[in-house]
Amino acid sequence: MDMRTTTLPNMLDSGSRPLPLADGPELREALKAANLQTLLMVYVHLTHDESMLETFKVHIHPPYTNPDYVMPQDCIDDLHEKLVHVLTTPGAAKSEDPPIELMQKMMSVGVGEPVTDEFVPMVMEQGGFHRSPVRKELSERTPPPAGFKVLVIGAGLTGILAGIELERAGYEHVIIEKNEEVGGTWWKNRYPGVGVDTPSHFYSYSFEISPEWNHYHPHGADMREYFRAVADKYDVRRNIRFKTMVHSLVFDQDEAVWNVTVEDLNSGKREVIKANAVFNAFGTTDRWVLPDIKGIESFQGIITHSADYDENIDLKGKKVAVIGTGASSAQIVSTIVKEVDELVVFMRTKHWMINNPEVKAEVPEPVKWAMRHIPYYKEWFRFRVFWFAADGLYPNVVKDPSYPEDGIAVSALNEGMRQYALSHMHHKLAGRPDLIEKLTPDFPIFSKRVVMDAGWYDALVQPHTTLETAGIAEILPNGIRTNDGKVYELDIIICATGFNASSLVQDLEIKGRDGHDIAVDWADEEERAYMGTTIPGYPNYFLSTGPNIGPNHAGGLNIVSESQVHYLIECLDEMIARGARTVEVTEEAFLRHNKRIDDQMKHMIWTHPKSKSYYQNSKGRPVGPWPFRLVDMWNELQKPVLEDYKFD
């Protein structure tokens, strides 16, 4: 088994250390380095002292409204000393959690804006303050019948989660994984600079908040180790069949089971597994192909895709081309620019680049110490990170009717974000009007995925870097020829050309009841589902991150995955409690939901005439984004609307 990884000790913490803590330099340094708003939340959580909220609330603002505000030093000193007393004095901290009303008040003060009632349950879960009980221990619940089996496809972020939650709910299950280890795209992707746009302390399971992230935005090695550590802790691997590929799902109406044909990739042997329910938990970010460019097979140097990158490739002193200018390309280019002799970046499309100073910032050791040792610090820190990466960003993607339909922005807020991005670009590319002209997008910001600047602009202004926009005519044995006849001699070509997102289930054959065939039902790119999760005609079949459930304005895939896995088990529990064999969304509910999606999408940035990205199909219909808020998605996936389902 290929176990290449960067080992991070104690990736999962067993929990905050018991109080009291020792009053020493480690504690004092941690308090100096820690986030003040988070420390305030910790203090009030441990003491229930609301007076401190009153003292601090005039000094706390959302970071985007008053970023240069400096909190008075006497307030800081007072908070530190009070925290030292509570953390180091036996019996000074209360043993019980604050009441929910106080928690909500703390949340609102901590972020400097109201956290209203509708957000509280989601935040309690996503902040790691609350986790649903172990279902199989609930006496009033009908347990799954003996032999009832759920088959999960994929052991990435969602598949691992499904294994954990199905075990807690008492469901026998098997996970089919084509790779040799858990982690999905984060196991396979090893290109230079690979990382995550979503902040580390949120891009993880709400019930497993790691204190050991090395960076505020996780690197690929961090993600690999995190998922391996979670799989170890919950003994997930015992239910995984590695190096196995699913080829087809065929529903047997008489037996009410799915016949799942799988192949052992080591031996080539195929077999059929009978499953009562199927959860398709594989994503679109592990299916790649080299670009269709004339002559690509003739190149005599090294040619690779970012998703299949070999870490043993030696770039030092080489002439290297990177095809593509999206998120992966930006990470690669920023990382390799100082190592290569010549670098040519072939731009296919433009992207908006956002300045986020934290995207490469390391987490200081004193902050890690606070995460490990100070009770509730990591939970309140996660809450804060999540809050500012969530629905507060939603207005950016909603069209203001007063703005021109084909304009460069869709609202005043959207225009403000565009100006912010332009200001950063002009600052970084001062003196290079040629690059500014080549790189400035002509579409609204957020209409396609924004890219974090982790050194992209700095790399492009290097004297040995060329940004080529002429387009590739063909790949030659020794390099690339552009459409205007220029030839670049190259040793290595890295294709950062994205993934095959044209079909959410790719080549997987899925045949439901009464002749339903996903290849027919989703023909002509008409991919649709109910809540991105269920489809009429396919009983007991559930999708993860299906059509129109993507958190494309904010948040992370992890919140969608947790919500959908919860929903899967809710649906199965209801079916079993009724003594039924199948659960299936009705055609009426499916049509009503998709009309609702289409109606709302008219008001969203992804239907702007200049919006073109993998969020949409080739006809321009947005098939990826959820057009409502994250809190709406979370609330609607808490329990199925029973009238929208039929149970047989």
What's the pLDDT tens digit per position in 230-270? 999 999 999 999 999 999 999 999 999 999 999 999 999 99
Tell me: pLDDT of 132 over 70.
yes
8 A C-beta contact, residue 184 and residue 271:
no
Relative to beta strand 479-482, strand 472-476 is antiparallel
Mean predicted confidence (pLDDT) in 265-277: 98
Taking alpha carbons only, the member of 295, 281, 297 closest to residue 159 is 281
Q: CA-CA distance, 54 to 40, in Å (whole number)? A: 11
* Banded pLDDT at 356 (limits 50, 70, 90): confident
Residue with tokens 């100006």: 419
Termini Cα distance of the chain: 43
**Is the four-CA dihedral 273, 279, 285, 287 of positive or negative sign?**
positive
Half-sphere exposure of 81 (CA within 13 A, CB side): 6
Backbone angles phi, psi at 332, to 5 degrees: -65, -50
Relative to beta strand 353-354, strand 451-452 is parallel
Distance, CA of 506 to chain centre? 20
Q: Name the token pair of 132.
A: 């649903």
Q: CA-CA distance, 459 to 464, in Å (whole number)? A: 9
In the chain, what are the domains?
Answer: 142-286+501-626+639-647 (3.50.50.60), 296-352+409-442+448-495 (3.50.50.60)
Tell me: pLDDT of 15 over 80.
no
pLDDT tens sequence across 46-65: 999 999 999 999 999 988 78
Q: Using CA atoms of 309, 311, 315, 320 in order, give the dihedral in degrees to the nearest 10.
A: 10
Instruction: Return the number of other C-beta atoms located less than 10 Å from residue 181's C-beta.
Output: 22
Beta bridge partners of 550: 625
> Is 13 in a helix, a strand, or coil?
coil
Q: CA-CA distance, 37 to 43, in Å (whole number)? A: 10
Tell me: pLDDT of 220 over 80.
yes
Tell me: pLDDT of 332 over 80.
yes
* Banded pLDDT at 12 (limits 50, 70, 90): confident
Q: CA-CA distance, 257 to 273, in Å (whole number)? A: 10
- Angle between helix axes 557-577 and 157-168 (nearest 10 degrees) is 30
DSSP 238-272: GGEE-SEEEEEEEEETTTTEEEEEEEETTT--EEE
Q: CA-CA distance, 159 to 598, in Å (whole number)? A: 29
Tell me the percentage of the chain whose pLDDT exceeds 70. 97
Q: Name the token pair of 209.
A: 């908040």
Taking alpha carbons only, the member of 441, 378, 444, 440 closest to residue 415 is 444
Which of 335-349, 413-427, 607-621 is predicted with the least confidence, judged by mean pLDDT? 607-621
Average pLDDT over the chain, rounded to an integer: 94
What's the pLDDT score for residue 5? 34
* Banded pLDDT at 367 (limits 50, 70, 90): very high
Tell me the percentage of the chain whose pLDDT exceeds 90. 89
H-run or E-run covering 457: helix 456-460
Taking alpha carbons only, the member of 448, 443, 390 closest to residue 633 is 390
8 A C-beta contact, residue 149 and residue 275:
yes
Q: CA-CA distance, 484 to 382, in Å (whole number)? A: 51
Q: CA-CA distance, 473 to 641, in Å (whole number)? A: 54
* Banded pLDDT at 101 (limits 50, 70, 90): very high
8 A C-beta contact, residue 226 and residue 218:
yes
Q: Name the token pair of 313.
A: 């490739």
Beta bridge partners of 482: 472
Q: CA-CA distance, 478 to 469, in Å (whole number)? A: 20
Mean predicted confidence (pLDDT) in 101-129: 97
Residue 144: is the preceding peptide bond cis (ω within 30°)?
Answer: no
Q: CA-CA distance, 213 to 228, in Å (whole number)? A: 14
8 A C-beta contact, residue 142 and residue 172:
no
Helix, strand, coil percent values for the chain (each to nearest 5): 35, 15, 45
Tell me: pLDDT of 547 over 50.
yes
Half-sphere exposure of 306 (CA within 13 A, CB side): 28
Q: Using CA atoms of 90, 91, 96, 98 in order, give the dihedral in degrees to the nearest 10.
A: -100
Taking alpha carbons only, the member of 162, 174, 191, 176 closest to residue 288 is 191
Distance, CA of 498 to chain centre? 16
What's the pLDDT score for residue 93? 96
pLDDT tens sequence across 32-45: 999 999 999 999 99
What's the pLDDT score for residue 335? 97
Tell me: pLDDT of 614 over 90.
no
Tell me: pLDDT of 384 over 50.
yes
pLDDT tens sequence across 67-86: 788 899 999 999 999 999 99
Q: CA-CA distance, 424 to 514, in Å (whole number)? A: 56
What's the pLDDT score for residue 545? 87
H-run or E-run covering 452: strand 451-452
Separation in Å, CA 631 to CA 393, 394, 405, 521: 12, 11, 28, 30
Q: Using CA atoms of 196, 201, 203, 209 in order, give the dihedral in degrees to the nearest 10.
A: 140
8 A C-beta contact, residue 228 and residue 5:
yes
- Angle between helix axes 25-33 and 365-373 (nearest 10 degrees) is 110
Backbone angles phi, psi at 176, to 5 degrees: -100, 120
Of residues 517 and 67, the one with the higher pLDDT is 517
Q: CA-CA distance, 562 to 568, in Å (whole number)? A: 10
Tell me: pLDDT of 518 over 60.
yes
Backbone angles phi, psi at 511, to 5 degrees: -120, 120
Residue with tokens 């795209």: 185
Q: CA-CA distance, 166 to 147, in Å (whole number)? A: 14
pTM for this model (two decimals): 0.96
Tell me: pLDDT of 8 over 90.
no
